[in-house]
Every structure is written in structure tokens, then in C-alpha cells.
């Protein structure tokens, strides 16, 4: 083989290599972006089986229908918790409070210029005994307030109340707490009461024996109306008690009793006749009454800051120890109270108290009081 033949043989592979290299350079490089995910095709190409023979055999043997829904019943809801049974034992409580009210006026039409200031004290105590169906509950509430007004120089008594109650009850029915009840109560005032006129005035004292006494009082001259602990009413009652409705926020109590009340009174009460220029004061007297009594107590809370309570007591006597011209419902004794309390803190609250009383043998007119006070209370135990 000569040199010319050898060079021809080497030229052919070199030419093929060069053409291959050029074609490779012109081929685009694969993309660096990841391929997007696509849904798995429903049918697999016959040329490329998607499963192994063993897997195909298992798939053919498997049922083609969906399994039936489970027939297992859902777990039953847990039973609602029963209210906890009240604990047995003795439970005392005692709290002391101070009531303050202050207002000032200057050149206000219809209002005297000056400062009106009230300062009072409150004592709330109680003792509860509970053993099974037996309950003995006692409570004591004392309220006294002195007020200074622009019309009068001295302080005058605007609130004075001593209220003690004690009752025993035995419960028959648990669902509505129905049972029997027997109790006693004492209601009076602790300090003497006075009438202090802002201007000179003529008065007439109407005595029980029908005699009349004429008097003239000078400006700010104190005329004593009642003695300490007068009038004092001692009540006894026996009957039935029930709590037909109660939940987390509301409680309703109802009592139906036969009641007896003895009242000891000395002094006078204002009973003015508007048709005369003088002020009339009626003399108080002792008396006893026996009758039917209905008590309704409704109390609760709207939220943790706002509490309310409503109490009414109606006593219709069928026996009265003293002669009187009153008849039928004219003898009805009534006591209606309403209270709303806004809790400002653990020891401070703003209270509105409404009370309307009617005791016809003392005075035929309704005794109405409205009080809005800021109270500060400390729990002793």
C-alpha cells in the first residue's frame, strides 16, 4: 500500500468525525427548568406496562365497586353533668361598706345653691346551715345614712334600717326545691327620727284618742317624731317555699305563708292634708295583724359586672287587733324593692335602689325612696 492510498483511508474517518462534531454543537441544550407535573394518564401504553404481572393479577382479582360505607354507629355524646350537690355545713359571711354621694349646684333653676353630701354605712351579715334536706338561713342588714343639704344647716337622717331574718326549711322535691318553711323577722330603725323645717311652720298633732294639739315650729327647730327602735315590727310566718326556675344567671323563689305581725310604735308620722295651711302629723299606735302572705324574689346577673334583684311582699290581713275604717284591700300591706348593681371593682360598686312600702295602719300613703349611691365594701369573711 502506497502513501497515497493510506492518506485517502485516513481522510474519510476524519471527515466523518468533523461532521458529527458540528451536528452535536447545533443541537439545543436541555432546559434547566424542572418539568411541570402532569396528571397520571388514565390508560397506559401497551408497549410500556404500568404494573408488573403480579400486580396485574391482584388488580384483576380486586372488586371494581366502591366499598360500602361503614355501618358503625357514631359514639354517643357524653351525658350532661349533673349540678353539684350543695355542700353540707355552716357557712358564715360578713361585709362592711361605706356609701358616699356628693352633688353641687349653682344658679340651677329650681335647685338651691349649695352642696348636698351624704355619708352612710352598711353592714351585711349571714349564717347558713345546710345538712341534707334541712336548711337554716339567717341574715342581718343595717343601713344608716346622714345627709347635708343646702336648705338645712344640720345633717338629717335619710336612711335608717335594721332588718333581721331567720328561717328554717325542709325540702321535699329536689327538682323545684319544694318544701316547708318557718321563719321570724325583726324590722326597725336604730336612731330617733326628727322633723326639721326649712322655714317656720304651724303643725297639728292628730292623736289616737281624736284630740288635736296645735304647735308652731321655727326654722330648723327639731321636732322628734319617733324614738330609737320605733316602730318595731316582729313577724312570724309558716308555709311553703319553692324554687320553680333557676339557671346560671337567674333564680326565682316563691313563698306562700300564713303570717302574724306585731308592731310597737311611739311617736308621729307625717300625714298632711293639702287642703289646710297647716302640717298634720298622725300619732302611731301598737297593733297586731294575722293574714296570708306572698313573697316573690327574682334575682340574677346579666354579666359578671351587672347584677339585679326584685323582691315583693304582699300581706293581706284577715285579723286586725285595733279598730279601723279601712276595709278589704285597703288593709293590704306591701313592700316592693328593686336593685341594680354595677360592679366597678372587687370592692366598689354603683347601686340604684328603689323601694316602695305601704303599711296602712301606720300611714295610708306609699313610702317611696330612690337612692343612687357609690358603695365601697370589704368582705370580712
Q: Is residue 60 part of a domain?
A: no
Residue in this structure with the C-alpha cell 388514565, named with its chain if needed: 42
Q: Is residue 127 part of a domain?
A: yes
Beta strands 201-206 and 212-217, pairing class = antiparallel
Q: Is residue 355 part of a domain?
A: yes
Q: Which three cell numbers stand for residue 145?
A: 345614712
61 CB-side CA count, 13 A: 6
Predicted pLDDT of residue 271? 87
Q: Is residue 80 part of a domain?
A: no
Q: Is residue 215 part of a domain?
A: yes
- In this structure, is the dihedral angle defined by the CA atoms of residues 109, 111, 117 and 121, taken in order, positive or negative? negative
Q: Which three cell numbers stand for residue 131?
A: 345538712
Instruction: Enumerate residues 6+ apart whose C-beta is below 8 A from 16.
Output: none
Q: Mean pLDDT, to the nearest integer, of 316-344? A: 93
Helical ranges in the chain per DSSP H? 3-26, 53-61
- Transcribe 285-326 into DSSP letters: --EEEEEEEEEEEEEEESSSSEEEEEEEEEEEEEEESS--S-
Query: Does residue 37 sit in helix, strand or coil?
Result: coil
The tally of domains found in the chain comes to 1
Q: Is residue 75 part of a domain?
A: no
The whole domain housing 97 covers 89-379
216 pLDDT higher than 90: yes
How far apart CA 4 and CA 237 sit, in angstroms, is 147
How far apart CA 20 and CA 32 sit, in angstroms, is 25
35 pLDDT higher than 80: no
Q: CATH code at 296? A: 2.40.230
Q: Is residue 272 part of a domain?
A: yes
How far apart CA 379 and CA 203 sit, in angstroms, is 46
CB neighbour burial string for 277-295, b if at least 16 within 10 angstroms, e if fewer: eebbbbbbbebebbbebeb
CA nearest neighbour of 100 among 364, 348, 379: 348
Q: Which three cell numbers stand for residue 114?
A: 349649695
CA nearest neighbour of 296 among 314, 315, 312: 312
Q: Is residue 101 part of a domain?
A: yes
Reported as a single tens digit per residue, the pLDDT across 91-133 is 999 999 998 887 777 766 666 778 888 899 999 999 999 999 9
Q: Mean pLDDT, to the nearest integer, of 354-358? A: 93
Predicted pLDDT of residue 6? 47
Query: Does residue 343 sit in helix, strand or coil?
Result: strand
Q: Across all residues in the chain, what is the average pLDDT?
A: 82
Residue in this structure with the C-alpha cell 317555699, named with its chain if needed: 241
How far apart CA 151 and CA 164 sit, in angstroms, is 34
Instruction: Enumerate residues 6+ apart whose C-beta is below 8 A from 363.
Output: 269, 270, 271, 282
342 pLDDT band, cuts 50/70/90, is very high
Amino acid at each position: 500500500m502506497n502513501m497515497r492510498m493510506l492518506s485517502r483511508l485516513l481522510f474519510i474517518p476524519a471527515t466523518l468525525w468533523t461532521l458529527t462534531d458540528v451536528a452535536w454543537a447545533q443541537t439545543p441544550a436541555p432546559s434547566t427548568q424542572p418539568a411541570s407535573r402532569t396528571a397520571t394518564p388514565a390508560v397506559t401504553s401497551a408497549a410500556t406496562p404500568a404494573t408488573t404481572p403480579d400486580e396485574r393479577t391482584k388488580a384483576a382479582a380486586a372488586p371494581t365497586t366502591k366499598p360500602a360505607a361503614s355501618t358503625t354507629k357514631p359514639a354517643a355524646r357524653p351525658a350532661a353533668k349533673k349540678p353539684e350537690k350543695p355542700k353540707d355545713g355552716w357557712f358564715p359571711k360578713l361585709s362592711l361598706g361605706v356609701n358616699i354621694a356628693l352633688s353641687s349646684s349653682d344658679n340651677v333653676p329650681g335647685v338651691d345653691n349649695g352642696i348636698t353630701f351624704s355619708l352612710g354605712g352598711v353592714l351585711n351579715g349571714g349564717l347558713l346551715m345546710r345538712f341534707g334536706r334541712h336548711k337554716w338561713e339567717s341574715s342581718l342588714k343595717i343601713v344608716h345614712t346622714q345627709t347635708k343639704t343646702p336648705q338645712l344647716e344640720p345633717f338629717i337622717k335619710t336612711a335608717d334600717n335594721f332588718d333581721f331574718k331567720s328561717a328554717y326549711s325542709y325540702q321535699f322535691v329536689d327538682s323545684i326545691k319544694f318544701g316547708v318553711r318557718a321563719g321570724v323577722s325583726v324590722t326597725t330603725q336604730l336612731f330617733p327620727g326628727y322633723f326639721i323645717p326649712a322655714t317656720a311652720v304651724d303643725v297639728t298633732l292628730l292623736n289616737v284618742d281624736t284630740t288635736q294639739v296645735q304647735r308652731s315650729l321655727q326654722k330648723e327647730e327639731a321636732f322628734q317624731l319617733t324614738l330609737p327602735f320605733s316602730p318595731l315590727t316582729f313577724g312570724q310566718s309558716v308555709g311553703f317555699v319553692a324554687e320553680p326556675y333557676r339557671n346560671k344567671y337567674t333564680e326565682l323563689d316563691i313563698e306562700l305563708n300564713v303570717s302574724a305581725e306585731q308592731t310597737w310604735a311611739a311617736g308621729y308620722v307625717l300625714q298632711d292634708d293639702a287642703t289646710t295651711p297647716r302640717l298634720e302629723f298622725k300619732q302611731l299606735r301598737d297593733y297586731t295583724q294575722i293574714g296570708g302572705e306572698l313573697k316573690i324574689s327574682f334575682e340574677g346577673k346579666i354579666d359578671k359586672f351587672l347584677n339585679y334583684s326584685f323582691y315583693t311582699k304582699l300581706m293581706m290581713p284577715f285579723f286586725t287587733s285595733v279598730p279601723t275604717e279601712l276595709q278589704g284591700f285597703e288593709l293590704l300591706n306591701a313592700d316592693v324593692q328593686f336593685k341594680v348593681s354595677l360592679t366597678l371593682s372587687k370592692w366598689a360598686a354603683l347601686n340604684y335602689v328603689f323601694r316602695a312600702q305601704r303599711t296602712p295602719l301606720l300611714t295610708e300613703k306609699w313610702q317611696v325612696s330612690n337612692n343612687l349611691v357609690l358603695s365601697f365594701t370589704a368582705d370580712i369573711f
